[in-house]
Amino acid sequence: MTDRLTPTQIAWRAAQDIADGAYVNLGIGFPEMVARFQPPGRAAIFHTENGILGFGEAPPPGQEDWDLINAGKKAVTLKPGTAFFHHADSFAMVRGGHLDVAILGAYEVAETGDLANWSTGPKGVPAVGGAMDLVHGAKRVAVITEHVTRDGKPKLVERCTLPLTGVGCVTRVYTSLAVIDIEHGHFVLREKLPALSLDALQSLTGARLHFAGPVADLIVPEL
């Protein structure tokens, strides 16, 4: 029995909620995996901040065009219908409410919808990129994350302790254990792994879980 989902499985689950034709921005790193699991018959159009809509997968090694990269600076490819645009247009798409979904990683998510995902504190070189822009404007801002940190601390909390990326911006969280909506300042549990008790899930969550209707089983294929 699965005791927690792998990152790949979390990405799979998040992909199931993306509609055909949706305009989607995937954060750098872990969220990029979501693109691999679009359900059959659906094709989202992916946006990357540096100025491409509708790009394709990575090219084979040796065939990269370094003028054709994504926000993670990895090489991508053209597809029929790809569009290029400059950075101000790109962020007009972001902040102007034109994206349907943004899926981001997180250090902490609060029950208020606050997100911390850009800085672990004052040490080192600070870097923000497009994170603070992406949390504003998309119709849905979803987070995919492990449910707890490597040392077992909850990542879903009452209030973030790390520097904020945005206030009240996250609408849904896909974790290694559950799918949780954020509504009116509460975590509302929608799905959880069948083998996991509500008490166990609550003990791994840093804020109270609320309920609105039945909790579905979170069932994800082995990947």
Partner 1 sequence: MDKSVPSLAEAVAGIGDGAVVMIGGFGGSGSPIELIHALIDRHTATGHPTGLTVINNNAGNGHVGLAALIEQGMVAKLICSFPRSADPVVFTQKYLAGEIELELVPQGTLAERIRAGGAGIPAFYTPTSFGTDLAKGKPVAEFEGRPYVQERWLKADFALVKAHLGDRLGNLTYNKAARNFGPLMCMAAATTIVQVSRLVEPGAIDPEQVITPGIFVTSVVEVPHPAQEEELNRAGAIYPEPAP
**What are the residues facing 183 on neighbouring strands?**
186
Of 172, 23, 185, nearest to 97 by C-alpha is 23
CB 204, min distance to partner 1, A: 27
165's CB contacts (< 8 A; 6+ apart) are 115, 116, 117, 118, 128, 131, 132, 135
Between 68 and 215, whose beta carbon lies closer to partner 1?
Answer: 68
Residues of the shown chain interacting with partner 1 in the complex, contacts defined by CB under 8 A: 48-52, 64-69, 73, 78, 84-88, 90-91, 94-95, 114, 119, 124-133, 136-137, 163-167
Between 128 and 219, whose beta carbon lies closer to partner 1?
Answer: 128
CB 210, min distance to partner 1, A: 23
Between 165 and 176, whose beta carbon lies closer to partner 1?
Answer: 165
For 137, 214, 223, the CA distances from 206, given in Å and listed in that order, are: 27, 21, 29
Of 32, 49, 108, 111, the catalytic one is 49
- How far, rounded to the nearest angstrom, does the alpha carbon of residue 82 sit from its chain's CA centroid? 23
CB 49, min distance to partner 1, A: 6
The yes-or-no answer on residue 222 being catalytic is: no
For the annotated catalytic residues, the residue numbers are 49
